[in-house]
Chains A and B, each alone.
Chain A
Amino acid sequence: MITREPTYSDAAGNAWVGVWRAAVLELGSIGRAGSMTAQSLVMLPLLLATRRSRRELARQLYITGIKSLALITIVGMFTGMILGLQVGLELRRYNQELYIGSAVMVSLLREMGPFMTGIILAACVGSSMAAQIGTMTVNDEIAALEIMSISPVRFLMAPRMAAMVLMTPILSFYTCVLGVIGGGIVGLTQLNVPWAQYINMAMDVAHLRDLYVGLFKALVFGIVVTSVSCYEGFTTTQGAVGVGQATRRSVIVSILLILVLGYIITRLFYDL
């Protein structure tokens, strides 16, 4: 069962026992989240099996993608503008502000696009997932599902996972496009870089490999956010307070994992 009694029923005898129990519990939590993630990924094809599940998938796609679009647009645009301004100000010292297109494009494709998308989805969609599932958990709705032999992972987590797996790379690409446009606007208005020249410089350095690595990174971030958020939701306890804590933890852990995994993926794909 996803919802279950605490592992330890008695109090820890001393500090070392407490540390040991905490380590075991953390490892168990990680393993549980990993198992849930694996199950949800395996169940993704089943979402296309029934009409109800397809409708649920479409609903999750709408929530994840369309409802986040406004925020993603603003964040993506301003991310590009900030990048263009900062890089342009530095390059202007060497009269090389023409190269902001290259810097903005490379930064967004490789790192900033997926990273900002992951952060936004963790804050918007992930927290919403954790709160929704957490509320269901504290209201024993998850337990009811399990009693009815309905897998909560398949019923609740798999559609959200599918939606995030599909939408995160798309939103990441969208962020990159808007970021490049934002950088171009700053270049045009603040640094006197002609638009055509900005685009030429940006396209010169844009390689498909950078795009693919960025999209892969976004895919991983989507899986991480969904896994963390759903896990936090499924393990929520202590009523409304627990829901708040689960929501907060889901955002914190998601952002931390996005940062750590972002670095690892970047390092694995790019040699020094």
Chain B
Amino acid sequence: MGHKENEKLTELSAALDALNRGGRPDSSDEETKELAEVALLLKRTGPPPAVMAGLVAKLGDELAAKRKRRRLWLTSGAAGTAAAAMLVFAFNLGPSAPPQPQLAIPPAGSVVIESIPAPQQATDSAAGIAKTDKPKDVAVTDKRLAQTAQTAPAPAREATPPAQDRPVAAPADGGRSEQRLMMAKVQEKAPEKAADKLAQDPAAGVLAWPGRQPDEVTVDKETAIVRQVYGRGDTAIVIIQRVAPDAAKAAAYATADGSAEVRAAKGKLNTVTVTIKDTVVTVEGNLPEDELQKIARSLE
């Protein structure tokens, strides 16, 4: 083998190495260039075509079948989950048994922010919303409130003394407004009607006779009837305010009860009944009926 022939072999080998590195062969010899082109063509064929075709056909079918099985499994799984969710939903919407004590446990994620002591007036009111002396536990699901409760420096329960230790002063003011505020935040109640308010808290709905101060105001927590007595003796005026549906009860109260002066003058009293803010207001007095009407209309 001549020196030139040996050089060609080495040059071809270098060209193949260059191809194997992903480069392009660079040779000055024409024959080496041509052979390198053949090698490049061989490289482009890739894996043996028969092998490739067999592999692709086999794998393609297998993978597609696997995917179908997987999809079927996922679909049936999703259908099962949906059915379970519907069952749970149906059970929750269906007629439920009376609430069991354990049902009162607040759900996970909710925070009991405060035990709200029901104000004495509210608990004793005729609406009967709170015949119990126990404070109401309010479960909060509102995130903002829960967050506030969690980030608050000290729980409200700890910050405020127990109900029995609190000063009794102004139970109908501070306590009530505090409760209203809390309840509004927590429960987002629909706005209450005046009659509902009166039923729950009779003192809240006392009507005022402009320019006059009542000599006596009595609030019956059981019947939710408010009696305001103006003046004594001959010019005694009694304003009786009550929730509309309990007209019979209120009338019974109005006739059965009352101050001595009023009872004494009962025989010569005129009566006017009007409805103000969903409450029935009876104005009694020894004045003519049109005068009583004027008084009734002026009430705020």
Same complex: no
User: Chain B: residues with CB nearer than 8 A to chain A?
Assistant: none
